[in-house]
Every structure is written in structure tokens, then in C-alpha cells.
Amino acid sequence: MKQIPSINKSGPQPQKLAALRQAHRDWNESPDVLTRLTRRLSTTLSLETQLAILAEEIASVVPYDCLTYRHTIASREFVYVTGKGGPHSCDYRLNLEGSFYGTLSFSRRQKFTEQELEGIELMLAAAICPVRNACQFIAIEQASLTDCLTGVPNKRALDDALSRASCLGDRHGEEYSLILCDLDHFKQVNDQYGHVVGDHMLKLAAAELEKAVRNSDSVYRFGGEEFAILLAHTDEVNAREVGDRIREFISTIVVDCGDTNVTVTASCGVAMRLADETADQWLARADEALYRAKAHGRNCTRVFAAISN
């Protein structure tokens, strides 16, 4: 067990305690601008909220017309803009301990003075640690929602999306359909050609699924060799067409294994969300439709029809 050195105990420190009480009073009642800025930033891990706080606090010291923040976090572009630009600008690259946390630009009609630039820099120096924490929080959150093999959102992300779709469906009557797409006889691919080929096949399948659907639709890796596709504004007739298209895309995958070209087919189960249905009930119906597609001989699409089956 690690021994923690004991803290040097001294006698009572009434003066230090009084100074601490005074510091707390000052910190609480009349904080200076840097104290107020860092205190406000420390209350949130939302990068958007932090940038709003930073924009407001800097504007209280150095007026500007437009603030723009840009950063790529976990392969996604994050952009935050307040106001409209002017001809004079200053740009800052936010770096801390060798890592980059985005670019901040300020612009306005008048030139910035040297003192104003120094003021902005002092405030950015105070903000950089909280901004770093918020960027890292986004990256960790993204990682927890992403399947590490294929790079598409994972089951956890699907659960969130189904709950959101269920709320929107009930509130605004929007139509959503869900497709479960399962590769056929995938165990044979692993058994005959090995897991490396199987993994490669899964990556190609995810990429084909993303190509096969619209930008407003989302592809998730639901489990081993099973994917889910959530289709917004789509009824079951159109969802069936998407299911068939998906299968066509999957059937174009060819993995060259020397003496053999390995191909794969997929089965799809489709369910359109019914009014007042929970996410679990909806998912269970799509799963039932997938089961029927498998039972029908695979390489086909089955719909759990809302009215007649």
C-alpha cells in the first residue's frame, strides 16, 4: 500500500484563517474580472456555454463586434460565432502543454490597441484550462458513443436516438422508421477466413450502409454483426425500399483473400414507429421483422407492418 506522507501539523493559525475568510468574502462579493471569469467557466463542461461566458467577460473589458471559435474535436468541426465581423481582427491559437484547443478570432471596425490585445491575452490565459477540459469532455463523450471498430455510433448512441425520436414522434407526430440489418452467416466468414477478415468486412459494411442512406438518416452498430439505421420522416413503405437498397450495397462488398473473393449478404427487419410506442417496443418489432427475414431464408427485407402483417 502506498504511504501518504503526513501533513506537517503546526499550531493554530488565526491570522491565516482570518485572511482566508477575507479572501473568500472578496472572491464571493466583489471578484476581480479574472476571478469572476474562471469561477464562471469552472461551473460548466459545456464548451458552448464556456464560450458564451468568455465572449461576455472579454466584451466587458475589450469591446469587439465578432468572436469566432473553431476547433475539430473527435473528427467533428465545432464552430461558435457571435456577432458580425469587422475589418480589424486578431487571432489566437489556444495551446496548452503541447496540445491544441482551437482558434479564437476577434474582429471589429476599429483597430485593437496594444493594451487591448494584452487584455484579451490575459483573459485567454485564464480561460485555457477550462476550455481544455470542455474539449476533452466532448472527445470522451464522443468516444463513449462511437463503435471503435467501425467508427459509426454504437448501441448507447442508438438508445439515445430512439428515445429522442420517440419524444419527437409523440410531440410533433413525426414519422420514424427503424431498420435492423444483420449480415448473413457471418460466423462462417470468421470461421473460414479468420477474425481479421471478419473485422475488415464489418468496417466495409458500416461504410456501405453510410453510403446507402441519406444524410438525415443515421447508422449504428447495434451488436456483433448487426447494424441499425434510423430513418427520419420515413414511413414503412419507403423504409422497406431503403432496406432493399442497403442489402444491395452490402452485396457489392468483396474482400480479396488470395485464392477466394469473400462476399456477404444481409437481412433487414423494418418497423415504423407507432404512436405512444416505447423505444423498447419499437426495437422489439424491428427485431421480430429481422427474425422473419432470417427465417425466410435470409438476404431479404421483412416489414413488421403497422396495420396488417
Ligand X SMILES: Nc1nc2c(ncn2[C@@H]2O[C@H](COP(=O)(O)OP(=O)(O)OP(=O)(O)O)[C@@H](O)[C@H]2O)c(=O)[nH]1
End-to-end CA separation in angstroms for the chain: 64
Q: Which of 116, 210, 225, 236 is flagged as catalytic?
A: 225
Question: For residues 62 and 123, what is the distance between their CA atoms, to the nearest angstrom?
Answer: 10
Site residues for ligand X, window 153-192 (CB under 6 A)? 182-187, 190
Contact pick of 26, 121, 141, 199 for ligand X (by CB under 6 A)? 199
Which residues between 239 and 298 bind ligand X (CB under 6 A)? 294, 298
Place of cell 419527437: 168
**C-alpha cell read off for 221:** 452498430
Q: Look up residue 164 and give its amino acid.
A: R
CB closer to ligand X out of 162 and 202 = 202
Would strands 66-73 and 99-108 be described as parallel, antiparallel, or unpaired? antiparallel
| Of the candidate residues 16, 195, 214, 233, the single one contacting ligand X (CB under 6 A) | 195
Confirm whether 277 is a catalytic residue: no
CB within 8 A of 223, min separation 6: which ones?
155
Q: Does 224 bind ligand X (CB under 6 A)?
A: yes
Please state the closest distance from residue 220 (CB atom) to ligand X, in A.
14
- Whole-number minimum distance, CB 179 to ligand X, in Å? 15
β-pair partners for 182: 226, 267
Nearest to 273 by CA among 158, 118, 168: 168
Query: With respect to ligand X, which residue has the nearer C-beta, 184 or 210?
Result: 184
Shortest spacing between CB 283 and ligand X, in angstroms: 17
Contacts with ligand X by CB under 6 A lie at 149, 182-187, 190, 195, 198-199, 202, 224-225, 294, 298
Catalytic residues, which ones?
Answer: 225
